[in-house]
Chains A and B, each alone.
Chain A
Amino acid sequence: MKAPRTPMTARAGTPAPAEAGAGHWPGTVPAAEAPGRLAVPEGRRRDAERFQWGSLALLAPAAALLVVLFIIPVVYAFYLGFTNLQLVGINAVDWHFTGAENLRRLAGDHVFSYSVELTLVFIAGSIVGVVVIGLALAMLMQVALAPLRILAGGIVVVAWMMPAITAGMTWYASTTARGTFGTLMGLANSDFLHSEPMLIVTLANIWSQTGFAMMVFGAALRNIPRDILESAQIENASRLQRFARITLPLLRPTIVTTVLLITLISLANFGLIYVMTQGGPGNATSILPIYSYQQAFQFNNLAYGALVGNTLVILCAIFGAIYVRVSMRRA
């Protein structure tokens, strides 16, 4: 947590601290020099961050946990990615560093490149679905009658609360032959899960994440000042204009945060897909976490599985960096 760069007290018109005022009387600061520039020129600001040695002791336990439980395993996993370690077999005991051999294999592995593609499709589909449906639900809830709102909200939140295994079983049962989906569409014997596997697992993920987005958007919508919307209405702005020009820009930081969270949750949603298809049929739903598991624990290639897992970490880091940049730019 960083202290705000612009002190809350330093608004135009408020007295500037004497030592930073460069000889102006309080209240007579020229407009050009107003808020931000009051800051540093000479002398220290009293509210500047100061380093205290004692803080190290307080931070140490958290840092130790992070190092032991996060940084060391991740670094070790990156190292393992460049070895020939196996779960069983001759290289389970006698294993060593193999340099770029695994990387060469990764470069030529068409199952891996397909897996990366599937991962991107899964993430993109999930983000679009969750944000659009979550936002639509949140906006509809604003105008719904209270009992209806509570009922609908409750149902959506229950879907979100369900453990991945339950959600997976529910979707498995309703999208295979004689399931609810096919029966409702008059195609009782259609096996949607195995004919359109990627679409169905993405829908299942959207279904299980939407409740979260709806709640976040609901809270954000309630914080949009009514007077702005009302004045726009008085100016004859249409519904669409009000949504595009006022609601959406004000929701932007919320949307960015939600997108980041949905990305990371979806990438970790191993259980949902594993319960529904185990990555199949064939490789049709084998996104990176599933492929990593398959390599490590089904094919016994711990090292190669670690390398596939590492690409997932890098992918997460890239997504994270993009979102952080986007959300910083809003100022």
Chain B
Amino acid sequence: MSKSPRRARFVSAAAAALVAIALAACSGSGATAKAPSTEPAGPFVLKVAYGSNYVFDTTGLTQKWWQQVAAEFKASHPKATVQFIPIPGSYNDIVTKLSLLYRSASTAPDVAEIPTGQIGLWAQAGYLLPLNTYLKSASWWGRFPKVIQSEGTFSGTVYAVDQGENDSALLYNKQMFATAGIPLPWQPKTWQDIITAAERIKAKLPGVTPLWLNSGTGSGANGLLQGINNFIVGSKTPTIYDTGTGKFVVDSPGIRAALSLYSQAFAHGLVADTSALFSPNAVTTPLTWFQQAKLAIAVGSNYYGGNWTKAISAPYWPQAPEVMGEAVIPTEAGGGVASTLGGWDFAIAAHSPVAKAAFDFISLAENQQNSIDAANWAGWVPPDRDYWILPAYTDFAPPYNAFFARITPFATLTPSNSAYSVWVQGMGEATGAIAQNPRTSVSQAVAILRNYVTGQLGADRVEVLR
């Protein structure tokens, strides 16, 4: 019987991908704007789609959170039935599944949890409902910092509101720094200070990987969000996607400066080997390596602290607050705060027959208890700045939660454009080339990025900043 799967695969081999693509394309539908609806009189169903095992830190907490919101919703809307559409898999799977659901008005979820990077494309495709009229009466919206409000806003129209944010900073092992004779608390003023500290560690603590820099194509957009993009947005030319011209930046002094930092770190042997960096789990590897005292510094994310708590245990490390220090990533000019920003958002389907109820659901999800629970359980900074100082949030993973919340207003959003994934691949190849062969020059790495993105998008969609 063992043969049958192989045979089945052989028979369907040639057509499998095509069938998938063909099915994906079936049943398209147009989308037009619609006036805000009122509450339906009779019983109604509210369809809610969310990532079931990627967005939150554990599947148990995912269910607990959504059911908690649904219970509050049913208390205020007794005629409603909440129908969940849990989407398993990781980032790409969630995006693909949602894209397919959105293609038809009948399958589009009324409320969906969507990644920040997709809002622009789905809004452009006419899938999402403009929320401006609803937001006028939402007290929480005004407390979102400008940069968080802007992530779902295109030409003045708001299509999505944030559920929680990820930003970046440097995390470092204080004990190792003490051993290496680096004064604490550590706060590098320039990028060069990061290299200098890593070199001290390498000299004094052989066997420890001094610095973690995500690189290569394996981690996709996440690897860039928690890697080189932090330096690009902190450079003197922070633009990745030029919204004015609609072009991607494939060469700029900032990109060269960031790649030069990478090149230096790899050439001096300060970074982990390719087996670790190119692994599909690379972005979360520092969490374990820090706990095992194998790593000194990481360009890391705000969720590290929460993941070390008992509630999440990925891995559980109660001593983390004593061992691990935190420092902001300096800008290229020196001082300053550099960080990427990206998270998850709520959106309502353009044709939702129960749009008013859908917005009520989102409002409940944004209330104090639910927003802070989501932030703690998914490893986010909550979007509402009033919650940043509440003990329910700060005491979940001290001191990291409070620290990362303070970075948020200075952070820079990830581009929201359908071709960004092409730029991600090109930049992943550029950093990957440096990781594989540290003798790769900055110009060669830039050429990899430029050639790839130009080849995929055409010369009219790329630009060079001087």
Q: Which residues of A contact B (CB under 8 A)?
A: 69-70, 73-74, 76-77, 80, 85-90, 92-93, 95, 108-111, 157, 160-161, 163, 176-179, 189, 191, 193-195, 212, 261, 264-265, 267-268, 270, 278-283, 289, 292-294, 296-300, 302, 305-306, 309-310, 312-313, 316
- Tell whether, in the assembled complex, residue A76 and residue B275 are in contact, meaning their CB atoms are under 8 Å apart: no
Chain B hits for A69, CB < 8 A: 19
Complex: A264 Cα to B11 Cα, angstroms: 9
- Tell whether, in the assembled complex, residue B16 and residue A268 are in contact, meaning their CB atoms are under 8 Å apart: yes
Question: Given contacts A89-B418, A92-B125, is CB(A267)–CB(B273) below 8 Å?
Answer: no
Interface-facing stretch out of B22-30, B189-197, B250-258: B22-30
Give a binary string over B71-105; 1 marks a CB under 8 Å from any A CB, 0 the rest.
00000000000000000000010011001001100
Q: Which residue of chain A has the shortest Cβ distance to B273 in the bound complex?
A: A177
Contacting residue for B419 out of A195, A265, A299, CB 8 A: A299
Total residue contacts A-B, CB cutoff 8 A: 168
- Tell whether, in the assembled complex, residue A313 and residue B15 are in contact, meaning their CB atoms are under 8 Å apart: yes
Chain A hits for B279, CB < 8 A: 176
Question: Given contacts A88-B122, A111-B452, is CB(A300)–CB(B14) below 8 Å?
Answer: no
Contact residues, B15-40 vs A (CB, 8 A): 15-19, 21-25, 28-31
Question: Given contacts A74-B15, A92-B125, A93-B126, is CB(A87)–CB(B22) below 8 Å?
Answer: no
Complex: A195 Cα to B433 Cα, angstroms: 11
Question: Is B51's CB within 8 Å of the partner chain A?
Answer: no
Contact residues, B336-394 vs A (CB, 8 A): none
- Tell whether, in the assembled complex, residue A300 and residue B21 are in contact, meaning their CB atoms are under 8 Å apart: no
Complex: A46 Cα to B92 Cα, angstroms: 63
Q: Which residue of chain A has the shortest Cβ distance to B16 in the bound complex?
A: A268
Q: Which residue of chain B has the shortest Cβ distance to A265 in the bound complex?
A: B10
Complex: A289 Cα to B12 Cα, angstroms: 13
Interface residues on B, range: 35 or more
Least CB distance from A70 to B in Å reads 6
- Tell whether, in the assembled complex, residue A267 and residue B275 are in contact, meaning their CB atoms are under 8 Å apart: no
Question: Is B274's CB within 8 Å of the partner chain A?
Answer: yes
Chain B hits for A296, CB < 8 A: 17, 21, 24
Chain B hits for A109, CB < 8 A: 455-456
Contact residues, B388-433 vs A (CB, 8 A): 418-419, 421-422, 425, 428-429, 432-433
Least CB distance from A276 to B in Å reads 10
For B17, B121, B455, which residue has the most chain A Cβ atoms within 10 angstroms? B17
Least CB distance from B115 to A in Å reads 11
A-B contact pairs, 14 of them (CB 8 A): A74-B15, A74-B18, A76-B25, A87-B99, A95-B28, A108-B455, A163-B5, A178-B275, A194-B436, A281-B217, A282-B433, A298-B92, A306-B21, A310-B18
